[in-house]
Amino acid sequence: MTTYRERLSAPVSWWIAALGFAVVWGWVFLIATTWAAAIVVTVALALAGCYAVWRYGSMVVSVDPDGLRVGRAFVEAHHVGTARSLDRQAYRTQLGTGADARAYLVTRPYLDHGVVVTIDDPDDPAPYWLLSSRHPDDLAAALAPSVASTTTHETNGDTDRGEEA
């Protein structure tokens, strides 16, 4: 049973930028070549741009009884240490002057809040994971050992803040 799940989806402005990029290049090709070439270039660039935005925004952060999964990375529950929610200022500090070069980072430039999770594994070179999140308090609470495993928080972007199971 998953106790927390969040997709770090890209904002709408990134989708608009990808489509705008394709349209601008389509226009350039229309001026320089033919309608057919311009349409092919526009469609190809729109597909490539939307695919890139979709892939970048498909990162999933989830917490379940087995542990913490961030994309393909996984840390077992018994190696998850303390989790601390970070506001904008603390998050930026943790990314900059307060950073440890050995830390595992899963950050997104369009998110300005996050969670720092210490890793209690002597074999893991990363002392902590720094994760972007739209709902850092919920993520930190899901990682806290005092949280009951019956609560489910499902988050997809800025909508659907959660459901009780």
| Other Cβ atoms within 10 Å of 142 Cβ, number | 25
pLDDT of residue 152: 40
Please, what sign has the CA dihedral across residues 60, 63, 68, 74? negative
Name the residue range of residue 142's domain.
61-158
Within this chain, do residues 89 and 143 fall inside the same structural domain, yes or no? yes
Per the structure, the count of domains in the chain is 2
Within this chain, do residues 66 and 142 fall inside the same structural domain, yes or no? yes
Within this chain, do residues 131 and 90 fall inside the same structural domain, yes or no? yes
Within this chain, do residues 39 and 112 fall inside the same structural domain, yes or no? no
pLDDT of residue 157: 46
Of 56, 71, 90, which one is at a domain's C-terminal end?
A: 56
Is 3 domain-assigned? Answer: no
Within this chain, do residues 131 and 82 fall inside the same structural domain, yes or no? yes
pLDDT of residue 2: 64
pLDDT of residue 108: 92
Is 2 domain-assigned? Answer: no
Burial label, 110 (beta-carbon count in 10 A; 0-12, 13-18, 19+): middle
CA dist., res. 112 & res. 93, Å (int): 11
| Other Cβ atoms within 10 Å of 155 Cβ, number | 21
Is 163 domain-assigned? Answer: no
Write down the pTM of the prediction.
0.76
Residues in the chain with pLDDT values less than 50: 146-165
> Which stretches of 57-129 are DSSP H helices?
88-95
